[in-house]
Amino acid sequence: MNSDATSLDVTTPETGMPVLAHKQERPHTPHFMLQEPTPEAPLPFGRYQLIRRIGAGGMGEVFLAREGGPHPRACVVKKVLPNLVANRAFVGRFLDEAKVVVRLKHNNIARVYAMGDVGGEYFLSMEYVQGKTVSRFTKRLRDRKAEMPLGLILLLGEKVCEGLQYAHEAKDETGSPLHLVHRDLSPANVCISYRGEVKIIDFGAAQSTLKEEQTAPRVVIGNLTYMAPEQAKKLIVDGRADVYSCGVMLWELLAWHALPQKGDPIERWRRAANPVWDAPSKTNGVIPRDVDELVLKALKKEPGERYSNAAEFGEALRKARMRHAPDVKERDIGELLARVFHKEKVNEDYVLQEVVYGKTVTPMVGDRSRLSMVPPTALAFEHTAVMAPADILKQNDEITDPGRPDPTLNDDGTPTPAKDPRLLGPKPQQVHLLEQRKSFGLTFGDVHEPLIEASLIQEIDATGDEEPYVSGEAYTAEYRGPTGLQKLALFGGIFFVAVGLGFLGVWLALK
């Protein structure tokens, strides 16, 4: 650490062990970086060299960086916006979270190396995972009209459960349990590396006994599509809520049916609070019955009817994998990922050479300025937050259960007033659910706050339109129309075809 760094940095470079020190007051005005880093001119930042600016999130800027030392490594550094440093609530949550996440050291959880302060600038540094999120992976497979094999899905779920169980059992320095719950597990928060490693990439919304500040009573953190019913209803949750979320992710992969991520927030919230699930085999007939049963158990509405913990769910997935695909290994899922993201992986390999070894590289194709990548951890600690009206948290409307026949409708699907009292009474007041992004207790997305760059979300969460897939391993960002030679060949071909058809018509007439 350089002389500008305070003792807030929560890990030491020598041991990597947590150091829970207090921030020292700085007598001078903090200075903030103004210039853009480049591979040829990286910017020093504590023990890091900032190599590339990846983009911006709600809480600050994101950089691809190199951590120095005898064994330099690539990492992701996220710098907090200067105006947030003066916000006591934000800094309190930031320091509170630092005490938790730096303790998590498991092969199936992406590491947070440090959260600290350099020269008055708060930052966090995270493991660079060279790979893609499950959401990106599955979208690319669907674009190619391909599916993920059963064995790989079971192995993926098994490894996620191993990471969850470790976090759920995590303890503080005195040996007391932290009672961590992820609360935002989804395909966008699970990453697969090109080596086949499965990593949960964000515990930034984790609930623990170390939290000094609690989320506002009406704010529900997490993705409604994957949220456990008790969490949607703002009830106390434990590790079984993460088991449920893992079950939703596996249901989506097994059924190979993309669950909706948008739509009426009220309806989505009600479905999250009152779920009913069909067996995955109803959508994908090749799924074995025993796999149906183990996933549906994880998706039980009542926590007490699910697996008691993530380890139990993981063991059920392991046994199913041994029955149906005993030869599947982690490298198999990594090889599949590398095949469908071949071009991206090659360019990422070049960029990592730049970051770790300081080598100037040339991209596989195109201009060097286009040589970039967005690691899955770039949006870490920024989560979907749903602001629910106070009265809606008390509702339990079974009519909105997904997949369940609506008892208020006739056989032809038309409403029956006699069956639905809501159609007889006065029209209820319209209710709105506001979905925004939160980070360390603050909400982003308002016109007065910084916005998360759309490119980051698209790259990480696979939202929006992506580059079209072209046969083979080539991809194109846009189609610019035919070139001059192509136009000449096209018009020439049309002319000769027209002349030929004319001669043919004359010959047939003369006969």
First to last CA, the chain: 95
pLDDT for position 250: 98
- Whether 318 has a pLDDT exceeding 70, the answer reads yes
Q: Please list the residues that pair with 123 across neighbouring strands.
A: 79, 116
Location of structure tokens 């969490």: 231
Give the 3-state secondary structure of residue 8: coil
- The CATH number of residue 378's host domain is 1.10.510.10
| 122 occurs within a structural domain | no
Active site (annotated) includes residue 184: yes
What are the DSSP calls for 397-408, one per residue?
-GGG-TTS--TT
pLDDT digits (tens, 9 = 90+) for 227-242: 999 998 888 899 999 9
Residue 61 inside a domain? The answer is no
pLDDT at 301: 95
User: Which residue is catalytic, options 117, 184, 242, 461?
Assistant: 184
Please state, rounded to an integer, the average pLDDT across all residues of the chain.
75
Please compute the mean of the pLDDT values over residues 123-146 and round it to a whole number.
92
- What is the count of structural domains for the chain? 1
Q: Which residues pair with 385 in a beta bridge?
A: 221, 436
- Tens digit of each residue's pLDDT (9 = 90 or more) over 375-393: 777 777 777 777 665 555 5
Q: Do residues 436 and 445 make contact, with C-beta atoms less than 8 angstroms apart? A: yes
Model pLDDT, residue 192:
96
- pLDDT at position 492 is 64
Q: What was the pLDDT predicted at 300?
A: 97
| Count of CB atoms situated within 10 Å of the CB of 56 | 19
The arithmetic mean of pLDDT across residues 338-363, rounded, is 80
Least confident of 21-35, 291-305, 337-351: 21-35
DSSP 212: S
pTM for this entry: 0.76
What is the spatial distance between Cα 161 and Cα 167, in angstroms, rounded to a whole number?
10
The position carrying tokens 């029209």 is 427
- C-beta separation of 47 from 67 below 8 A: yes
Q: What is the DSSP letter of 51?
A: E
Helix (H) or strand (E) holding 124: strand 121-127
Contact 477, 467 (CB under 8 A): yes
329 vs 454, more confident? 329
Asked if the structure places residue 68 within a domain, the reply is: no
Q: Would you say residue 90 lies in a domain?
A: no
Residue 264 domain-assigned (yes or no):
yes
Q: What was the pLDDT predicted at 217?
A: 58
> What domain range is 403 assigned to?
131-462
Reference 434, options 450, 442, 446, 448; nearest CA is: 446
**Domain for residue 233, yes or no?**
yes
- Which tops the pLDDT comparison, 283 or 18? 283
At 424, the pLDDT band (50, 70, 90 cuts) reads very low
**Which of 456, 97, 164, 452 has the alpha carbon at shortest distance from 298?**
164
Token readout for 315 is 């063991």
Q: Which two tokens stand for residue 144?
A: 């190619």
In a domain, 458, yes or no: yes
Q: What is the pLDDT of residues 268-298, one digit of tens each?
A: 888 899 999 999 999 999 999 999 999 999 9
SS (H, E, C) 303-352: HHHCCCCHHHHHHHHHHHHHHHCCCCCHHHHHHHHHHHCHHHHHHHHHHH
Q: Is residue 312 part of a domain?
A: yes
Q: Provide, rounded to the nearest whole percent, the portion of the chain with pLDDT above 90.
A: 36
pLDDT of residue 408: 42
Task: Pinpoint the alpha helices (H) of 383-483.
Answer: 454-461
